A and B are shown apart, each in its own frame.
Chain A
Amino acid sequence: MIEVNERIDVPSSSREVWKVLSDPHAVVECVPGASLGELQEDGYYDAGLLVKFGPAKITFNARFMLELDEPALSGAVTSRGKDNQGGTRIHATMNFRVVDQEGGAGSSILIDSNVEVSGRLSSVVESGASLVVGRMTREFTERLVARLAAGSAG
C-alpha cells in the first residue's frame, strides 16, 4: 500500500482550482500519460494510463469514478485498473479538498490517497512504486499550476 499525503499550494483562488478539479477532462490532462474515455452508465469513466517505471513502460486500462461535494470544495476519486499484459492490478482512492490560504490570495489542495499494487509486478515495485507515485504527483502539480496560470492569464 502506497500512501500519498500532499499539500499543493497554488497561487489561484479556491474557486478557480475547484473548476479544474471538478472537470474530469481537465484533471486527466494534468495527469502525465493519462487519457479519458467514455462515461459509462454506472458512473465510471474509462481511462488509460501509461506509467513509466524505471525503463519499463506499463499501460493500464482503468475505470474511475469522481464524486464531488461542491459546498465543501472536496471530492473523491475511486479507480481500479489492470495492465495490458494482464499481470498487474492497481486500486487507488484519492480524497482532495481545496482550501483558501489564510491571509493570501492563493489556495491549497490537500490530497490524501492510497494506491495498492497487486499481481506480478507488486513485489518488484513495492518500494520503487512509491517513488514513481511521488514523481507523478509532482508532475501533476506542475501541470495543474501551469493550467491555472494559463487560465487566469486568459
Chain B
Amino acid sequence: MKVYQRMARAFKAEGVTATFGMMGDGNMYWLHELHKLGGVKVHEVRHEGAGLGMADGWARTTQKVGVATATCGPGTTQLATALVTAARAASPLVAFCGEFPTNDDEYTQRLDQSIFATACEAGFVRLGSADAADDVVRKAFYLAKTQRRPILLSVPMDLQQKEWDDDEPYKPSATLFTPGVVYPDQQALERAADLIAKSKKPVIIVGRGAQWSGAGEAVLKLGERVGAIIATTLLAKTFLNECEYHAGISGLYATRGALGLLQDADCVIGIGASLNRYTTEHGYLYANARYVQIDSKPHVIMSGVRAADCYLQADAKVGAEALEKLLAGRSFKSVGYRTPDVKSRLVRHWGDTTEFPLDPDTVDPREVCLLLDEIMPPHVGMLSGSGMASGISNMMMVKRRTLMQGGHFFGCIGQMLPAAMGAVAATGQPAMLLEGDASVMMHLAEFETAVRYNMPLLVVVMNNQALGAEYYKLDVKKMDVNTAVVNTPDLGKVAVAMGGKGAIVHHMDDLAKAAKEWVANPGPMIIDVRISRTIMSVPYRRIHYGRDD
C-alpha cells in the first residue's frame, strides 16, 4: 500500500462521508483512492476556495468536520478567503492539500504552505515523513475539533508515493479524547442569579452556542421564570421565535419596536453568544444594562474589550438549566419584561412601511422577502447572503425553518453560495439562498456543480445590478453612484444554459410562479429578481443616513 492510500483510508475511518475540492496532481491519487473505497461522496468543484466554502457549509450544518481538498501551490492559495471565513465561523475543517516534492526545491508550484495557513488563520499539520501518515491525519482531525477552525494538512507529493507496510488499524482522533460538558461553578452561578434577580427588564440573547448545545427548552424556561424578552444573534436568527416575547435579532437588524424595548433593558443574559459589536451595537444598545454571559469557553470578552459583569463558564444548556433551578429554589419568579404592554409592542412589529418609488421593471425587495417567506414551507432551509440585500431578508424573513443560516463571518461577498451548497449536500433537504448579484456572479461557475450533483438549491438573486453596499455609500458622500453599477446578464438564462432551471423576475407575479414551480419540484434553480435600487435596507438607512426607521 502507498501512503496516499493509507491516508485515504484514515480519512474514511475518521467518519468522513463527503469531500469538496478540485483534483490536481498533488491530491489526485488520494482522491482516486477515496473514489475506489466508496462510501465517501467526492464533490468535484470548479474552484478550490468554493470547495472549501462548501465543506464549511457542511460543517456549520452538521457540526462535524468538513473536508476540503486542493492541489499544491496554486490550488492551495485559492483557499485563502474561504479559510479565513471558515476560521471566523468556527467551523471544524480539514483541508487535504498536496505540497511540492521534498526533493525538488525549484518545483514551479512550490509554496511555503505553513506561512500561508497561518496568514489565513488556519492551523497547519505537515507530513514530514512517510511513517507519520496516520499521526498527521489523527492530529489534523483532533485540532479541527478542539480548536474549531480549519486545519491545512499539507502532504508532499513524493512522500505520498512511499510505501506503507503497517497493517494495524487506524486509530481515529476520537480515541484521543471524549468531548465533555462544562458544568458551572456554584459561586459564579449564585452571582449570576443575584444579578438577574435584581432586574426588572431582562433580555436573553441566544447565539449559535445555545443552538449547538440544544439549550432551547432550558432558555424558554429561564426566560419564563425571570420575565425576559428573548432575542438572538444574526447567526441564530429565528431561534426560539415560538416565544411570544421574542424580539428578533439584537442589533441594527432589530425592528424599531424591538429596539425601543432592548434599549431599556437593565440586564442582558447572553447564552452561547459572543455579544459582539453587532449584537450589542458596540454596547450602545444596552447602555444601562448589566451583563451575565454563559459560554463554555474559559472566558470571553465582549465588544470593546469589556467583560460581562458576571461570566459563567458553562455549557449553554447546562448553565441555563442550573440558573433556572437555582432561581426556582429561591422561589424567585418575576413578570419582569413580560407585561401586556411589551407583548403588544412585539406583535406585528416587523413591518417596514417606508414608501419608496420603484425603478421601472423592478420589484420591491421587501415584498420579495415577504412572498418567499410565505410560499416556502418550513422544511425549505434558508440561507442569507452578504451585502446590502441581506439586510432586508435578515429582518423580514421570520418563518421558523429546519435550517436557517446567516453569513457575514469575514464580511466578504461570494461565500454563501458555496456554503449553501455544502448545507444542502449535508442534509439532502431543499434550501433557498437569498444573495446579491455580485456575490452570485463571483462563484457562478459553482452553479454548474450544483447541477451536476442535482442539489435541491434555489438561488434567489436580489439583483440590483450594482455593488449594492458601495452604491449607497457613494451616494451618501454625494459621489458618482454609477461607478458601482455593474450589469449582469439574465441569470435565469445562464442557469438554464448550465443545465438547471431559471427565471427572471420583473414583476411579483413572475416570482410567485417561479417559486411555486421550484417548491413543487426542488432542484438547482436560479431566480434572477430585478430589485429597485431606490430601496435601501433599514440598517443602511440607520448607519449611513442616521435615520430612525
Return the contact of A85 from the options B304, B542, B543, B546 (Cβ within 8 A). Answer: B304
Q: Hey, which chain B residues are within 8 Å of A57, CB to CB?
A: 263, 284, 287
Q: Does A71 contact B (CB under 8 A)?
A: no
Return the contact of B284 from the options A56, A129, A131 (Cβ within 8 A). Answer: A56
Q: Does B283 contact A (CB under 8 A)?
A: yes
Query: Contact between A135 and B546 (Cβ–Cβ < 8 Å)?
Result: yes
Q: Does A73 contact B (CB under 8 A)?
A: no
Query: Contact between B283 and A53 (Cβ–Cβ < 8 Å)?
Result: no
Return the contact of A55 from the options B256, B303, B473 (Cβ within 8 A). Answer: B256
- In the assembled complex, the CB of B45 is this many whole angstroms from the nearest CB of chain A, namely 35
Query: Contact between A85 and B284 (Cβ–Cβ < 8 Å)?
Result: yes
Count of chain B residues with a beta carbon within 8 Å of a chain A beta carbon: 26
Q: Mark A44-88, 1 if CB is under 8 A from B, else 0.
A: 000000001111111100000000000000000000000111111
Query: Contact between A128 and B544 (Cβ–Cβ < 8 Å)?
Result: yes
Q: Hey, which chain A residues are within 8 Å of B509, CB to CB?
A: none
Of listed A83, A86, A124, A135, residue having the most chain B CB within 10 A: A124
| Closest residue of A by beta carbon distance from B255 | A55
Q: Does A25 contact B (CB under 8 A)?
A: no
Q: Hey, which chain A residues are within 8 Å of B284, CB to CB?
A: 56-58, 83, 85, 121
Return the contact of B546 from the options A54, A59, A86, A120 (Cβ within 8 A). Answer: A54
Q: Does B443 contact A (CB under 8 A)?
A: no
Name A's interface SS.
Answer: mixed
Return the contact of B548 from the options A54, A85, A86, A87 (Cβ within 8 A). Answer: A54
Of listed A52, A55, A57, A86, residue having the most chain B CB within 10 A: A55
- In the assembled complex, the CB of B175 is this many whole angstroms from the nearest CB of chain A, namely 46
Q: Hey, which chain B residues are within 8 Å of A125, CB to CB?
A: 543, 546
Q: Does A115 contact B (CB under 8 A)?
A: no
Of listed B263, B282, B285, B541, residue having the most chain A CB within 10 A: B282
Query: Contact between A128 and B543 (Cβ–Cβ < 8 Å)?
Result: yes
Query: Contact between B543 and A84 (Cβ–Cβ < 8 Å)?
Result: no
> In the bound complex, how far is the Cα of B549 from the Cα of A127, in angstroms?
17
Query: Contact between B304 and A53 (Cβ–Cβ < 8 Å)?
Result: no
- Given A54-B546, A128-B543, A128-B546: A87 touches B304 (CB 8 Å cut-off): yes
> In the bound complex, how far is the Cα of B546 from the Cα of A131, in angstroms?
7
Q: In the complex, which residues 84-103 of chain A have their Cβ closer than 8 Å to any Cβ of chain B?
A: 84-88
Q: Hey, which chain A residues are within 8 Å of B477, CB to CB?
A: 127
| Closest residue of A by beta carbon distance from B475 | A127
- In the assembled complex, the CB of A113 is this many whole angstroms from the nearest CB of chain B, namely 18
Q: Mark B272-311, 1 if CB is under 8 A from A, else 0.
A: 0000010001111101000000000000000110000000
- Given A87-B304, A131-B546: A55 touches B283 (CB 8 Å cut-off): no
Return the contact of A52 from the options B256, B283, B544, B548 (Cβ within 8 A). Answer: B548
- In the assembled complex, the CB of B352 is this many whole angstroms from the nearest CB of chain A, namely 13
> In the bound complex, how far is the Cα of B303 from the Cα of A56, in angstroms?
16
Query: Contact between A121 and B548 (Cβ–Cβ < 8 Å)?
Result: no
Residues of A bordering B, CB below 8 Å: 52-59, 83-88, 120-121, 124-125, 127-129, 131-132, 135
Known pairs A56-B285, A88-B282, A131-B546 / 12 extra A-B pairs, C-beta < 8 Å: A52-B548, A55-B252, A55-B256, A55-B260, A56-B281, A85-B287, A120-B277, A121-B282, A127-B473, A128-B542, A128-B543, A129-B546
Which 3 residue pairs spanning A and B have beta carbons closest together?
A: A54-B542, A127-B476, A128-B546
